[in-house]
Structure 1
């Protein structure tokens, strides 16, 4: 049995995040699963999973995470910034409040979660942020995703900056730009669209990458997509 790791995952109530919690727990790792809705993970009943309700937009919730790490773990090996907010709306109707909501989750939340967890990470820790192909410069773009895709572009640049700032001390920072994955979030934004990749298939890739990818990559955006979008 490999040594178990301490892994924090955001956005775990469904989709890729939920599958990741299950995969890591089955492998014997300790998981802190954070989501506004903690119930789906609580239903899993694993001794090595801790789950509590967490909102990336609520300042007080970050203190709960900090206290948990101090009291239970002392250190964190992997942070997966998976939580995301997807808005599909014509730009002419997208308000400042809409933009603020999407950026609060997808950019500010990623930055703050990373900042809170960093003091507990070792030099070989790995921060993996889940982005989107829509955030890659030069990739195919879609109408209605101005707030979402631009926020996903912002975390790619943020990852590059953090990798540079912490290159001498660690941990490592990478971002995975995912193509279309069949999740509830995708179905809500694009009813009827069928993605070529399941949430479990993508979670298996992300799980392996988060445990091993930082041996080979730092400050990189990897495009994980088998389709054009």
Structure 2
């Protein structure tokens, strides 16, 4: 049965691959990214895309209008967009923290808030976090803003699952290990991750469709490294 899917951060990497997977499976997709061209140029059936910035309040209005007029309901929201900053802590300014949190925390929160009126108890919110945001995991220098923001959405997910457990959607968060994406290459030039963007997208695709049968308010570690 065809579902209505919203995915953020779709211009490249995991988000780009997710749009193709959902379209191929016959689902309707709203693909949101600051750069809509890569998805637009694919010309995929049942896919709508327009430029969207998680830190711009006016862009959320456009999403609301689209949901009112077209989708009417949202089955799956995948909060995939993220900003990765690799910078020594002593050089990381308040402005740096604000920029990272605007995308990785406030943007996730607002996207969920705008979609909630269109969701029901069968809907599923999947937020993409990072192993760097998991308490007790191995940490990397230079990622104070990024990893702490990814820890924030883990707690946010747990809180929302509790608040909406009666009539609302399920909320789960996937803490990903290293994935070979453009974002990773920009932050850590030359680093080779063990998982491709497509391989991770296939896992997220399956989880978003079925994971809410088994999980709610859970953080799942999607990483083959230790610890």
TM-score after normalising by structure 1? 0.98
**Which one of the candidate residues 11, 15, 18 is aligned to 1:17?**
15
SS at match of 2:122: strand
2:44 alignment partner in structure 1:
46
1:160 aligns to what? Answer: 158
Distance 1:5 1:34 in 2: 17
SS of residue paired to 2:127: strand
Which portions of structure 1, spanning 4 or more consecutive aligned residues, are displaced by more than 6 angstroms?
A: none
TM (normalized to structure 2)? Answer: 0.99
Distance 1:122 1:161 in 2: 17
Q: CA RMSD in A?
A: 0.6
Structure 2 unmatched runs, 5+: none
The match for 2:209 is: 211
Confirm or deny that 1:67 pairs with 2:65: yes
Please say which of residues 24-33 and 42-51 is displaced more in the overlay: 42-51
What are the superposed Cα offsets for residues 145-199 of structure 1, whole Å, 9 maximum, x if unpaired?
0000000000000000000000011200000000000000000000010000000
Question: Displacement of 1:227 after TM fit?
Answer: 1.5
Q: CA deviation at 1:35?
A: 0.0
Q: How many residues align?
A: 227
Q: Say if 2:6 is the partner of 1:8.
A: yes
Q: CA deviation at 1:228?
A: 3.0
Correspondence for 1:101 = 99
What does residue 132 of structure 2 align with?
134
Deviation of 1:46 (Å):
1.5
What displacement does 1:77 show?
A: 0.2
